[in-house]
Amino acid sequence: MEMASTHPPARIGRTEWAEAALMALTDMGPTGVSVEGVARRLGVTKGSFYWHFSGREELLSCALDLWQQVHTTALIDASNAAGSPRERLEALFRAVALSPISSGELGLYAGTRDPLVGKAVLAVTQARTAYVSDLLGLLGFDPVQARHRADLALAMVIGQRTLAAALPDRVIDEATNLAHAALALTLLTAPPPGD
């Protein structure tokens, strides 16, 4: 008689589950993160899931943490490698312009009724706008103006990405995305009217 294994399957770990859940999340939004669906993506049985997670909620939470790390923290860290505040903003806008458009990420903003999603979207939004606001402050904008402009920057990105996701036949190439990013940065850093 064989004894049941007391060790998790070696091939698929917690990280792989979280990455696959993030792919499901950005492809289909929060409802796309199911144990069965992610297991199918990984080509494993859902039984291996329980070696790493207590349930779907923990998996979704890990996917949301990974989303914040990959789509916000990593972009901010990379932008910080540039020199001046203006160069950091340019690096950030360039990175965002060149990143793939995901309708699922847009779905997260629409799916904030889910408490985990709402908490993650709030944290990501705060991190994104605080970073841009801080850089605008270093460029001389007062805190209120900097915050309004940072909110506008995020709204512009989400709007452009929503348009691109909703109208996939409207081809926007890399050069156009970069031109949009440069124009957005010019508008956001222009002196306030009357200055």
For residue range 48-65, what is the model confidence (pLDDT) as tens digits? 888 899 999 999 999 999
CA angle 158–159–164, rounded 5-degree value: 95
For residue range 21-50, what is the model confidence (pLDDT) as tens digits? 988 887 787 888 899 999 999 989 888 888
Residue 1's pLDDT is what?
40
Q: Which tokens in the block code for residue 9? A: 């399957």
Question: What is the DSSP secondary-structure string of 32-50?
Answer: G--HHHHHHHHTS-GGGGG
What's the pTM value of the predicted model, to 2 decimals?
0.82
For residue range 149-172, what is the model confidence (pLDDT) as tens digits? 999 999 988 888 887 777 777 767
| Nearest of 146, 126, 125, 150 to residue 137 by alpha carbon | 146
Residue 101's pLDDT is what?
67
Residue 102's pLDDT is what?
66
What pLDDT band is residue 8 in, cutting at 50, 70 and 90? Answer: very low
